[in-house]
Amino acid sequence: MSEIRHIKPAGEAIFKDRFTTKAKELLHPWSEGEKGKFGLVGLPHSKPSISHSGASLAPNAIRHAMLSYSTFSGEAERELTDRILDFGDVYMDPTDIIGNHHRLYEALSDVYHTEAAENWILLGGDHSVSYASIKAISEMHGSIGIIQFDAHHDLRNTEDGGPTNGTPFRRLLEDNIITGDQLVQIGIRDFTNAKAYHEYAKEQDIQVYTMADVKETGMRKILQHQVERLKQTFDSIYVSVDMDVLDQAFAPGCPAIGPGGMDSYTLLEGIHYLAACKEVKAMDIVEIDPTVDIRNMTSRVAAYVILQFMKGKS
């Protein structure tokens, strides 16, 4: 187009500072055979949600939010230069929900078996997607430790409503993919879970930290203790970030919002700490519904979580 002056391709950001790399530029469609430090897969599944959820729109909202960030951490004086190999989104059939759970599992199995990436970033979707992801990764790597940030246990019985976003960890336990001591839950909130599931968590020996525990003990100390414990048994740790662990002021775009939650600074610190552990090899981010979000604030937090994760790994 050399002879036409001033024209740029449609849809691309028209202003370009020559010294700035946008974090989104790190995303590259994966081509067969390629290997790298980070791989990313979108899991746009939210029809299993108990309440109406548009979380299927989150993977693109989060990718788009990465446009708002640069690749440079001044605090660490480090430039992120590793590409994120973007495997795209798993295809979701409009009407076959159970089939979609299986599709997620098959797709992620194939993805993980490519061994294309050292670290995986999975973008939900609602929390039901973690079942497929953890099942696939466990078959690949053997038993793993799991650190779940969440206001909820997600241990509901599966007879009422099937494999919803309230059941992923229950199903992992019932299908013997994990045992309770593999699972750490941080940020569990009062009046947000039924007694039966609190007791189930205790019976199963799940390690539970309420918001009061986080306030009293501190995020750093909890993570140190639990990572140490998990490392003794497991080679890999999987981090599952349900964004509703944050207070509604900091994550207004989750389906289940409420007060008394975590602030975003504390979560970001936690992610940074975890990423610095070499055992942490995968992280999912779930339960963001862009259709009810305000100025995409919650997707922006998610993009920042990804960058903290990458900073910890650099």
- Give, as ranges, the residues between 247 and 286 that touch a second copy (CB under 8 A): 247-250, 252, 256-260, 264-265, 268
Among 65, 87, 100, 154, the residue binding Ca ion under the rule CB under 5 A is: 154
As a whole number of angstroms, the distance between CA 57 and CA 42 comes to 10
> Cα 310 to chain center, whole Å?
13
Among 63, 127, 153, 281, the residue binding Ca ion under the rule CB under 5 A is: 127
- Annotated binding-site residue? 150: yes
Instruction: Find the largest Cα–Cα distance for the chain.
Output: 73
- Name the amino acid, one letter, at 293: D
> How is residue 124 written in tokens?
């939900």
Among 26, 38, 39, 47, the residue binding a second copy under the rule CB under 8 A is: 47
- Least distance to a second copy from the beta carbon of 231, Å? 26
- Please identify, using beta-carbon distances, which residue of 276 and 297 lies nearer to a second copy: 297
- Annotated binding-site residue? 242: yes
Name which of a second copy, Ca ion, none residue 242 binds, using a CB cut-off of 5 to 8 Å depending on partner kind: Ca ion
- Least distance to Ca ion from the beta carbon of 169, Å? 8
Kindly state the DSSP code that residue 304 receives in the 8-state scheme: H
3-class secondary-structure state, position 270? helix
Kindly state the DSSP code that residue 211 receives in the 8-state scheme: H
Contact 113, 137 (CB under 8 A): no
Does position 191 interact with a second copy (CB under 8 A)? The reply is yes
3-class secondary-structure state, position 308? helix
Contact 219, 266 (CB under 8 A): yes
Does position 8 interact with a second copy (CB under 8 A)? The reply is yes
Which of 144, 138, 117 lies closest to 235 in space, CA to CA?
A: 144
Residues 6+ apart with CB under 8 A from 156: 164, 166, 167, 170, 194, 197
Residues 6+ apart with CB under 8 A from 160: none
Does position 284 interact with Ca ion (CB under 5 A)? The reply is no
- Least distance to a second copy from the beta carbon of 221, Å? 17
Kindly state the DSSP code that residue 187 receives in the 8-state scheme: E
Among 88, 115, 218, 233, the residue binding a second copy under the rule CB under 8 A is: 88
Name which of a second copy, Ca ion, none residue 142 binds, using a CB cut-off of 5 to 8 Å depending on partner kind: none
232-261 binders of Ca ion (CB under 5 A)? 242, 244
The contact pattern for a second copy, residues 213-242, with x = CB under 8 A and - = no contact, is --x---------------------------
Does position 192 interact with a second copy (CB under 8 A)? The reply is yes
As a whole number of angstroms, the distance between CA 152 and CA 256 comes to 10
As a whole number of angstroms, the distance between CA 33 and CA 268 comes to 33
- Least distance to Ca ion from the beta carbon of 183, Å? 12
Does position 3 interact with a second copy (CB under 8 A)? The reply is yes
- Across the strands, what pairs with 242? 286
Name which of Ca ion, a second copy, none residue 314 binds, using a CB cut-off of 5 to 8 Å depending on partner kind: none
- Least distance to Ca ion from the beta carbon of 257, Å? 10
As a whole number of angstroms, the distance between CA 38 and CA 254 comes to 26
- Annotated binding-site residue? 152: yes
- Annotated binding-site residue? 190: no
Mark the binding-site residues for Mn(2+), compressed into ranges.
Answer: 127, 150, 152, 154, 242, 244
Mark the binding-site residues, compressed into ranges.
Answer: 127, 150, 152, 154, 242, 244
Q: In the complex, which residues of this chain contact Ca ion (CB under 5 A)?
A: 127, 150-152, 154, 242, 244
